Structure 1
Amino acid sequence: MTTIASDLPDDPSSISSWITFLLALSCGLIVANIYYAQPLVGPIAAELGLSPKAAGLVVTMTQIGYGAGLFFIVPLGDLVENRRLVLSVMSLGALALATASFATHTLPFFLAMLCVGLGSVTVQILMPYAGHLAPEQIRGQVIGNVMTGLMIGILLARPVSSFIASVSSWHTVYALSAAVMVLLTLLLRYALPARKPQVRLGYGALLASMLHLARTTPVLQRRALYQASLFAAFNLFWTTVPLVLAGPDFRMSQSGIALFALAGVGGAIISPVAGRIADRGWTRPATAIAMLMTTLGFGLTLLSAPGSTLALAAFVIAAIAIDAGVQGNVTLGYRALFMLGAEHRSRLNGLYMTTFFLAGALGSAIGVWAYTRGGWPLAASIGGVLPLLTLIYLATE
């Protein structure tokens, strides 16, 4: 007999440690699909005959699909039975990954990557789903645990795809991921309880209601702006630092940069801590700490002579601090938004994610521009100032 979780009331016994672990694992495995391509751009472009200018589309197409899915698919979590929606979107992603693994021409590959991005928004359906299943008193803790899985997936995706491609090919990366998605879809089909939303709107009205929510929900406006600032700084850091490490001061290889990227995993452990802090009602001071950690991370990298061992250690500590600040803040934001009511959690999540996803793309662009104009000092200065400006805005809350 199928269990159906209604919107109200929240059942204190409605989520188990196993379900929490499964949601965290699922988010990590699914979100990794967005990032597998980043270290594989070179071999993919060479095999498909892409010019250097067109090579960037390998990653861009996935991001376009993900951005579109945030706005047009994620809100359906307030309208469509959640388990069925999850399985449907995951199936699209698995089919797209399989298509990418067999692609030998540009157009099929780009279309497949667009659909990989669409399928990957499953994680943003699962986040409010986890918030619904969790009782109010531990909602932040559960969201933090699921966020940890998601962040580990993001941070491990690049080195894993690099390793698999080095012993086989980029086709194998997508073939294996497609197989994992099929197995995960079957597991979620049998393990997750169904959840039927109570909202009764047409799809057009659902999307139109998001504009109303954006205008009339101060918590959303503030939390989206806070996270947009920090996520722009985060993307600025992770877009620019590989250029610094590969440059004349450090001369690190790609494998060395991949190992450096693993430092960010240390910051992912902050999400459950942030969730517990939010459950205690300390969201505002924790937000301020997250902003200060991000700023201090950038500042630390400017204190040592470029290329020195001490400078490299500073970059490692900065990576952990910036990741911890950004991931802690996003968890605080999720918890605040998911306390506003079950009936519009998915729409709030779609707006929240879309806002800081766009800010992250802008942060990457600003980082590359700043690095070409003034090197790492200019890029780090911009990255460090963004959270400070937001901290001033936080003071008006």
Structure 2
Amino acid sequence: MKSVTNTRLHPGLIILMSLATGISVASNYYVQPLLHTIAAYFRITNSTAGLIVTSAQIAFALGLMLLVPLADLIERKKLIVVMTLLAGAGMLVTAAAPSIIFVFIGTTVTGMFSVVAQILVPYAATLAQPEERGKIVGHMMSGLLLGILLARTVSGYCSTWFGWQSIYWLGAGMMFITGAVLGRNLPRYHSSIKISYPSLLKSTLTLFIDERVLRIRALLGAIIFCIFSILWTSISFLLANAPFNYSDGTIGLFGLVGAAGALAASRVGKLIDSGKTNLVTSLCIGLLLFSWFPLAVSKSSLLALIIGILLLDLAVQALHITNLSVLNHLSAESRNRLTSGYMTCYFAGGACGSVLSTVLFDYAGWLAVSLCGVTLSLVGVIVWWLSQRDNSSSTSTPAQGHHK
């Protein structure tokens, strides 16, 4: 099948792909402001309810490892549409769940196939002109993180007015509509790579051995999304209890604060395209560490909580865009496998963060959560400092050797 890599992305298609990315990934995050409500509904503990988030992230990581590389073998339009529809089917299972077991089953199915978002991002990068690639990835990743964050707001209000299941009925409908629209508008594209599926998976692992840049960026990605999950998994429990005692709808509003950070972070695409990836990385890691200082005292200050959320989400989104932009310059033929490897680590870190968050909150409250966030942020600072000290030029790629 003929390649379409020379097709220029028009604004309408960029918007459509960004929206599809956000809607797809949002399906894994509707549950976060509802954890205490679901715990009460099924009469389970907060820790057990927190495992719903963990199961979604583990399933997502498996999907990244096993399904995303298929985009280098199968015609992408067809693959994207089928996976979108299957993710919607998983949400129907959750919406109709008669017991917590079916919630876990539906969540796992949705998590596995919602990795379609991670096929859309490198697909957009493939269609983009080289000089616009960072900006396009920035738009796509803004759609992704906005989907994650706005999912909380929509979910909270749906739960308040119509019950916690309503967001899953709505989400399933959006996924089915998204699949139909993508099927009608996406251009067809088939990679020219001739390789078996087992060899494809093996080559993904081989990339970690061959590409030092991938190892560094994947480790940073795992750390930042672990921190992100630590905040957003436990914040539901913090805000539902004294001194706040907020409803699901009010808790969901805090997603809007994070969304503001995501929108601000989308502007880093221009800095990346001008060759400042290392500078952006350093600033983001420093900002991530600083964000935990207001977050640590947020139990007694709503303003501190809002400032901390804004700074943390800005840092995570900006660094995530930077990581993907760097990887997208490594190899056009390996782009999906590079994304698969990076995002598998990214969401594995998120799964660890959700487990850590619920356990620490149950054991020692918000202070323990904050100390964990600070500690992991310091680990990120050390990892980046060591990588730069060992070989500052190793984070550059052939296409961006001037990045400093």
Map 1:184-263 → 2, pairs under 5 A: 184-246=178-240, 248=242, 250-254=243-247, 255-263=249-257
* Cα distance in 2 between the residues matched to 1:382 and 1:96: 36
Between Structure 1 and Structure 2, how many residues are aligned? 386
Distance in 2, matches of 1:357 and 1:305, equals 26
Matched, 1:395 2:352: no
What is the TM-score normalised by the length of structure 2? 0.87
Residue 385 of structure 1 pairs with residue 375 of structure 2: no
- Aligned residue identity for 1:129: Y
2-structure distance, mates of 1:282, 1:99: 45
Stretches of 4+ aligned residues off by more than 6 angstroms = none
Matched residue, 2:332: 342
C-alpha distance in structure 1 between counterparts of 2:97 and 2:11, whole Å = 39
Aligned to 1:329: 319
CA distance in 1, matches of 2:298, 2:25: 36
Q: Residue in 1 aligned with 2:3?
A: 5
Deviations 1:249-285 (A, max 9, x none): x434134433233211111013431211111111111
Deviation of the 1:378 alpha carbon: 2.6
Residue 123 of structure 2 is aligned to residue 133 of structure 1: no
Does residue 353 of the first structure (1) align with residue 338 of the second (2)?
no
C-alpha distance in structure 1 between counterparts of 2:53 and 2:185, whole Å: 32
Q: CA deviation at 1:4?
A: 4.8
By how many angstroms is 1:220 displaced? 0.6
Q: Secondary structure at 1:119's aligned position in 2?
A: helix
Paired with 1:143 and 1:17, the residues of 2 have a C-alpha distance of: 13
The secondary structure found in structure 2 opposite 1:195 is coil
The change in CA–CA distance for 1:180 and 1:227 in structure 2 (over 3 A counts) is: same
What corresponds to 1:182 in structure 2?
Answer: 176
C-alpha displacement at 1:218, in angstroms? 1.2
In structure 1, distance between residues paired with 2:107 and 2:295: 35
Q: CA deviation at 1:74?
A: 0.8
Stretches of structure 1 that go unaligned for 5 or more consecutive residues are none
Identity of aligned residues (%): 30
Residue correspondence of structure 1 range 21-100 to structure 2 within 5 A: 21-44=15-38, 54-100=48-94
**RMSD of Structure 2 on Structure 1 (CA):** 2.5
Whole-angstrom distance in 1 between the partners of 2:155 and 2:237: 20
SS at match of 1:269: helix
Question: Structure 2 regions of 5+ residues with no counterpart?
Answer: 393-404
State the distance in 2 between where 1:41 and 1:305 align: 20
1:360-396 CA-partner distances (Å, limit 9, x unpaired): 2223344455554454663453244233223422432
Contact 2:157 2:252 in 1 (8 A): no
**Amino acid across the alignment from 1:200:** K
Judging changes above 3 Å, is the alpha-carbon distance between structure 1 residues 236 and 179 closer, same or farther for their aligned structure 2 residues? closer
Is 2:22–2:143's contact at 8 Å kept on the other side of the alignment?
Answer: yes
> Is 1:160 the counterpart of 2:158 in the alignment?
no
- In structure 2, C-alpha distance between the alignment counterparts of 1:94 and 1:369, rounded to whole Å: 30
Would you say the 8 A contact 2:27–2:171 is kept in 1?
yes
Aligned AA (1:275)? G
1:242/1:33 Cα in 2 relative to 1: closer, same or farther (>3 Å)?
A: closer
Instruction: Indicate conservation of the 8 Å contact 1:234/1:326, yes or no.
Output: yes
For 2:46 and 2:310, locate their aligned partners in 1 and report how far apart those are by CA, in whole Å.
Answer: 32
